[in-house]
Structures are given as C-alpha cells and as structure tokens.
Structure 1
Amino acid sequence: MFKLLLTLSFLLVACYTDLKTRNVSNKITFTWLLIALVIAGYDTYQRGSSYLLIVVLSWAAMSILTFLLFAVKILGGADVKSLISLSLLYPQDVFLILVLAFLLTICVKKFKDVSNFPFMLPLTGGFILTVFVTP
C-alpha cells in the first residue's frame, strides 16, 4: 500500500507540474527514481534472486524502449524517467501501464484536438487502471 500511495503521489505531482509549466523538474523525477531503486532493492531482498532477474529485465527493456521513444520525440525526459521508475517498482505491470497510457492518449486525441498533450496524464491514468486490473 505504501508503494502504491508513493507512486500515485509522485505521478500526481508530476501531472500537476507538467500541466502548469509543461515541464517536470529533475528534482521530482530523479528523487522518484532514487526512491524506486531503494524500494526495488528492498523488494528484491524480501523476494529473492528470481525477483531480481524480473526487475533487471523489466528495467533494461523499459530503458531501451523509452530511449527509442525519446529519440523519436514521442516521450519527454520526465516520461522516460517515470517509466523507468515504474519498471523498478512494478516490473510485471509496467508494459501494461505503458500500453494503457498510449491507448488513453489515442482516445483523448480522437475526441479533442490537442497537438501538445502532456503524456504524464495518460501515464498516471494507465497506472491507476493497472492497479484496478491486476491483482
């Protein structure tokens, strides 16, 4: 429950600053990334080496994917760091979160003409939906 509330807090702060200034500061994203590393380390200590493999694979795959999406200007820097943090905290759910975020973005753009839509909003929505979908 702590991890869920912490994640939601960071995502909501990032949404607010992204909407207000169109920029999420590195203080927010790097703080979250550091906290995610600590929590992932604790989770790995509790669950064992097989969980470490899942976390490392999730982190590596998400790092590569988000780098590519950043390189072609689909994602911004805060989006990348947030997804990498999510890959550490929720390694088995992060790809579902990303897919749902893209689906939410498509839905919003279908019904509303927005050229520069902050991805942090659907990313947060994807996280919230994933919390309700997965056990």
Structure 2
Amino acid sequence: MMPTELFSVGFCATILCYACYSDLKTRTVSNKLWLLLLAVGLPLALYNGYRSGVPFLIGLGYSIGFTTLLAYLFFYLNLFGGADAKALMGIALLIPTNPLFAAPIPDPFPFAITTLFNGAMLSVLVFPLMFLYNVVKLPPSELRAHLGLAFVGYKRSIDTLASAKRTFQRLLHSYELDEESGGETVRRAFVIRGLEIDEDAIHELKTYHEQGKIGDAVWVTPGLPYMLFITAGFFFAFFAGNLPFRIILAFLSSL
C-alpha cells in the first residue's frame, strides 16, 4: 500500500497548503477543494479496501467515524469553521491510518485526529508569542494594566482598522455609551469570541475617539485562520507523530 500512501500524503499536503493560501487571501476556502478530496479519496479507499480487505475497512470506518464526530463537536462549539471540519474529514478518508513511512511512534488515534491534536497544541503557542510581542511593544505600565489581554491580542491603531476588515482579526472588546454617565463615557467589555471588524464598528470607534472617549488604538486578535494550525499539525503528524501523546508517554515514563 506504500504507493497509495505516498500519493495520499502528497495530495493532502498540496490541498491543505492551497487551502491556507486561499484562507489567508480571501477568508474563504472553496468547497471544490473538499469535493476534490472526496473524488480522489473514494476510489483510493475502494482500491485499498479491495487489496487489504476487512482490516483496512475497519480502520477506515474508525477513522471517518471518530473524525466526523470530533470535527462536528469542534464546529458545534465554534472552535473552528466548516472548512476546517471538511479538511479533517478529507484527511480521514485519504489517510485513515498512520502511514508506514511516517514517524514510527505508537499512536492509537487516526491520522486525522492526530493532525487535529497537533494543530490544537501548536495553536496554544500563539499565546506566549503574543505576550512576548506585547512585552516589546507596550510600555511596562500599560502591559501591567492589560496583562491578560497581552496573551490573546495586541493594540492596533483605529486608523488602520480598515485594512483588517477582510482578515481574521476581531475586536477583543465591545464599546457602548455608558448611560449612567449620560453618554459622556464609553463602557468597554471583553468579548470571548471577539467582534467582527466592519464599517459600522470602525465608524463607531472613530467617532468615540474624535469625541475623546477612547484612545487612538484598540485591542484586536492576531487574526490567524485555524487552517494554518491544521496544516502545521498535519506535517507534524507525519514527521513527529502525535505530539500530545508523545508528551504524555514521556511524562509517564519519567515517573
């Protein structure tokens, strides 16, 4: 099965890389990519099932079932978008088991789930990197005043927000006039998922700034699509295996 494994890995890698490019450039990933994965994956699955029989079909069912369930759960919880879920299900179809030529690390999970776990772990690295960026950019007094925010976002000038409309950046706060002060001040509230940066939001922020009610910069998210982490997790799964599982095994072996 080595020839089909090589092709499947190479094909998936190509599709994922293009999906990242499309996601970054247009904020969308065409469904044609996932239909292409399906069109290529189904014949390969039938071929491998014919050659390898029941053991392969069991692994395929486990891969698709487990991945579909977890991808739907992540999508339902708004942890990632529909394109991310489709990418994982495409991987589950094309690469149901860990490739024989990949990292020889024991892994009880399907390759697509390992990709997801790796991507989730890699996404966590954004937080300390974001904090280090703010340590360099912010005055110490402001860093201390916004210590929690420094891990999840950075300050961006309101005048430059127009260029963020077609990106994945989101506002970390909502801004509303404080009725208790008669509209003289603005109440800022942290929003976990962030708020979309659109024309209305930019106009409102500029108005508040011109009235002297807020500063000239606001906190925004880094704006990285999760497809980047899925793709990175895919390559890590191929070269290093299941990163969380390896860490757990290393910890248990040290006890």
Is the structural similarity TM-score above 0.5? yes
Tell me the CA shift for residue 115 of structure 1. 5.0
Of the three residues 69, 79, 85, the one matched with 1:80 is 85
Q: Indicate conservation of the 8 Å contact 1:33/1:81, yes or no.
A: no
- Root mean square deviation, CA, Å: 1.5
Tell me the CA shift for residue 110 of structure 1. 3.3
Q: How does 1:26-45 map to 2 (within 5 A)?
A: 26-45=31-50
User: Partners of 1:88 and 1:101 in 2: how far apart?
Assistant: 18
Q: Indicate conservation of the 8 Å contact 2:74/2:80, yes or no.
A: yes
Cα distance change of structure 1 residues 103 and 50 upon mapping to structure 2, 3 Å threshold: same
- The structure in which a higher percent of residues are helix is 1
TM-score under structure 2 length normalisation: 0.50
Partner amino acid for 2:46? G
Of the three residues 81, 85, 105, the one matched with 2:123 is 105
Tell me the CA shift for residue 33 of structure 1. 2.5
Of the three residues 63, 67, 73, the one matched with 1:62 is 67
- The structure in which a higher percent of residues are strand is 2
CA deviation profile, 1:30-88 (whole Å, cap 9, x unmatched): 22123222222222222211110111111011111111111111121111111001111
Of the three residues 228, 231, 234, the one matched with 1:127 is 234
Runs (5+) with no aligned partner, structure 1: none
Of the three residues 107, 118, 126, the one matched with 2:225 is 118
Q: Indicate conservation of the 8 Å contact 2:8/2:95, yes or no.
A: no
Range 122-131 or range 108-117, more displaced: 108-117
User: Partners of 1:31 and 1:109 in 2: how far apart?
Assistant: 34
Higher relative contact order (CA 8 A, sep 6+): 1
Runs (5+) with no aligned partner, structure 2: 1-5, 98-110, 131-152, 154-220, 242-255
Structure of larger gyration radius: 2
1:91 has 2:198 as partner: no
Q: Indicate conservation of the 8 Å contact 1:62/1:87, yes or no.
A: yes
TM-score under structure 1 length normalisation: 0.90
Q: Indicate conservation of the 8 Å contact 1:18/1:120, yes or no.
A: yes
